[in-house]
Structure 1
Amino acid sequence: MTRRIGFRGPKNLAHNTTTTLMPDSGFKIVKTFFARKSSKEIPVDLPVVEEDAVDSTQHGRAFDRRNYSIVTRLGRGSFGHVDLVRSNGNLYALKSQKTRQPAFGGEIDAHLLVCQRGDHQNIVKLHYASGNDNKTGLIAMEYCDGMSLSRLTTLLSEDQLRPIARQVVSGLMFLHSIGIIHRDVKPENLILCRDGTVKIIDLGVAHNTNTSSPTSASGTLLYMSPEQITCMDHPLSYGDKVDCWAMGVSLVELALGKLPNAHLPKHEAVAIIKKGDPPTLGRMKRTHNIDREFSVDFQEFILSCLKRSPHERASAVELSRHRWLTMQDEDGVTQSLVDIVNEGLRRRDSHTKK
């Protein structure tokens, strides 16, 4: 039996339906578009589930919105909260939206587009999405058993950062190839799993460029590119290279344990990101008196991410071909990452039990 997910729109809108078959996952996504008679078709923001939940789990039954138990709270914010839940024997990260907001519909839309294009091993996978009449919504995603890079207590070496960067670039290449800009790449949204796999999570402010160009300063301030910062003053369209800038900032932070411009007042940080010198490894080492050595190739890779002009900045595809990223990993590097995340999870679980 196929499973369908559709969009419900206002009663005064005409609609038509397009169906995409997902041969690998065994379900169909039915996406309904609504349009006023005199305007072009537009997607309505929140979906409702028809028949059963969308599910791409290979083992066990689908996520059941009527039958799940909360294991623990994973996080909370102004949007609502994220819980680790169990349903039909499987674990999911369940994001609950308190109020209907355009960004939540955009997040679902981005996840659905990823599903339609076949998913990617470095992008968190959608299993279920819904909205209802009391203006709340749910998104059930795969549970990534690991830790965000922001919670690691050990500074990673250049050799350890390479396989992480390689996987992030691979995930960004996929998103960009289907027209999705993540807009919030940062260590907190990069999960290092127990097996060494890296997952890009949280498409909460992702933008679908198939429908329009982004013109807002969405994301996390200190990881924003100069062109995003400019949008704080006036709308300006930008492209997917903002994710490459954010990745460069993230690598600097992970390599040195210092987030560029975090020690400055907000207005000074904004001014520096907008018109100052990019936060290269050398400049950050001098600013914070850090004694760590890095290869020329690694420094050039980060510099490729942090070119002020997006026209000069490397794209995800170009980064994937960079000499530093294509180097062969040393023996034991992946295992060292596995050991780091497992030790971190052991300490977290031990602290939780206390």
Structure 2
Amino acid sequence: IDDFEYGQILGEGAFGQVRLCVHKATELQYAAKVLKKEKLIKAKQTKYVKSEKEILLEMDHPNISKLCYTFTDEKKLYFVLELISGGELFECIIKSNVANDNKELKKVAQFYMAQMLEALIYIHSLNICHRDLKPENLMLTGSGNLKLVDFGIAKKIDRPGPNTFCGTAEYLAPEVVSNNEYGIMVDWWSYGCIIYELFCGKSPFYSSSMAVTCQKIVDRDIYWPKTMPPDAKDLINGLLTTDPEKRIGGPELRKHPFFKGIDWKNL
């Protein structure tokens, strides 16, 4: 703990905060997630934190946030993660005005969704289901590459089975909303929602009422704007397939026409 100097708060959550920190010896900057043990125990969250730590330590991929150190003192747990300084992907797109140029937006969406695809293929190869894929969990590095973050409710799932209702309402797959057994295919549904949102500015099932959102998901009530590129629509349609056994996902998505021209080796 004393090897680091702690600076400004980068974010706050229910159980603690994320702070900028500097490793004194190397002067390298990191993001420290500092969690209060007492709050975690009260909310029965300790097993999730333990699971998050194990999952983060297992992963090593250029498009996934890296856990560099962990330590603990009497009152707090510390996760020292690489600092991802470019901000949220969607915020950067809005600031850059790319969204107003369909051709440019398609190029940007293609590139970042290809990087996200690589991250998902990788975590699923380790039987890790993220379970909370949403735009806020897609960050950019200083050099403009995508990083998937926040494995707080991620879980090892080797086959579909009874799992908890969790995640963010408008990105939930129908099998989660309906309290059915589910597996890693839930992540591909959320991925479809994110691609839709990149092109349309809002998620396909958004409503200010959670009940309405859930109903829209179950009914697969999707509005398709005319500006949506046909290959993007085809990809999203396949991802937003209600039956998880018929839903598309996995390495074969690299061959989808939407990703035509992507150099997978040099992403």
Query: What TM-score comes out, normalization by structure 1 length?
Result: 0.65
Matched, 1:200 2:138: no
The amino acid of 1:312's aligned partner reads K
The amino acid of 1:161's aligned partner reads A
The amino acid of 1:304's aligned partner reads G
Deviations 1:257-277 (A, max 9, x none): 12233334111111221x212
Matched, 1:79 2:15: yes
What is the root-mean-square deviation in Å for CA atoms of aligned residues? 2.2
CA spacing shift, 1:110–1:155, aligned 2, 3 Å:
same
Instruction: Return the alpha-carbon distance in structure 1 between the equivalents of residues 242 and 98 of structure 2.
Output: 27
Q: Within 5 Å, which residues of 2 pair with 1:205-220?
A: 205-209=153-157, 213=161, 215-220=163-168
Decide which structure has greater helix share.
Answer: 2
What corresponds to 2:234 in structure 1?
Answer: 300
Shift of 1:175: 0.2
- Greater mean deviation of Cα atoms: 81-90 or 164-173: 81-90
What corresponds to 1:142 in structure 2?
Answer: 82
The counterpart of 1:127, out of the listed 29, 46, 68, is 68
Instruction: Return the alpha-carbon distance in structure 2 between the equivalents of residues 214 and 183 of structure 1.
Output: 14
Deviations 1:21-70 (A, max 9, x none): xxxxxxxxxxxxxxxxxxxxxxxxxxxxxxxxxxxxxxxxxxxx223222
Instruction: Return the alpha-carbon distance in structure 1 between the equivalents of residues 191 and 131 of structure 2.
Output: 10
Deviations 1:227-255 (A, max 9, x none): 11122xxxx43111111111111111121
Deviations 1:148-179 (A, max 9, x none): 12423245411210010000000000000011
The counterpart of 1:238, out of the listed 182, 204, 208, is 182
Q: Within 5 Å, which residues of 2 pair with 1:150-189?
A: 150-152=90-92, 153=94, 154-156=97-99, 157-189=105-137
- Greater mean deviation of Cα atoms: 172-181 or 73-82: 73-82
The amino acid of 2:157's aligned partner reads T
The amino acid of 2:114's aligned partner reads R
Shift of 1:209: 2.1
SS of match in other structure, 1:254: helix
Deviations 1:316-353 (A, max 9, x none): 22322212124348xxxx9xxxxxxxxxxxxxxxxxxx
The amino acid of 1:181's aligned partner reads C
Instruction: Return the alpha-carbon distance in structure 2 between the equivalents of residues 209 and 133 of structure 1.
Output: 32
Q: Report sequence identity in percent.
A: 28
- Contact (CA 8 Å) 1:229, 1:270: kept in 2 or not? yes
The amino acid of 2:220's aligned partner reads D
Matched, 1:190 2:131: no
The amino acid of 1:147's aligned partner reads G
What corresponds to 1:32 in structure 2?
Answer: none
- Contact (CA 8 Å) 1:278, 1:307: kept in 2 or not? no
Matched, 1:98 2:36: yes
- Contact (CA 8 Å) 1:94, 1:140: kept in 2 or not? yes
Matched, 1:110 2:55: yes
- For the pair shown, the structure with the greater C-alpha radius of gyration is 1
Name the count of aligned residue pairs. 247
CA spacing shift, 1:211–1:324, aligned 2, 3 Å:
closer
What corresponds to 1:58 in structure 2?
Answer: none
The amino acid of 2:62's aligned partner reads Q
- Contact (CA 8 Å) 1:207, 1:214: kept in 2 or not? no
Instruction: Return the alpha-carbon distance in structure 2 between the equivalents of residues 95 and 271 of structure 1.
Output: 35
CA spacing shift, 1:214–1:192, aligned 2, 3 Å:
farther
SS of match in other structure, 1:147: coil
- Contact (CA 8 Å) 2:159, 2:183: kept in 1 or not? no
The amino acid of 2:201's aligned partner reads G
- Contact (CA 8 Å) 1:97, 1:104: kept in 2 or not? no
Instruction: Return the alpha-carbon distance in structure 2 between the equivalents of residues 214 and 206 of structure 1.
Output: 15
Instruction: Return the alpha-carbon distance in structure 1 between the equivalents of residues 58 and 260 of structure 2.
Output: 29
Q: Which runs of 5+ in 1 are unaligned?
A: 1-64, 286-291, 335-354
What corresponds to 1:257 in structure 2?
Answer: 201
Deviations 1:192-211 (A, max 9, x none): 22322110011111001259
The amino acid of 1:249's aligned partner reads C
Matched, 1:70 2:11: no
The amino acid of 1:121's aligned partner reads P
CA spacing shift, 1:214–1:169, aligned 2, 3 Å:
farther
Instruction: Return the alpha-carbon distance in structure 1 between the equivalents of residues 162 and 260 of structure 2.
Output: 31
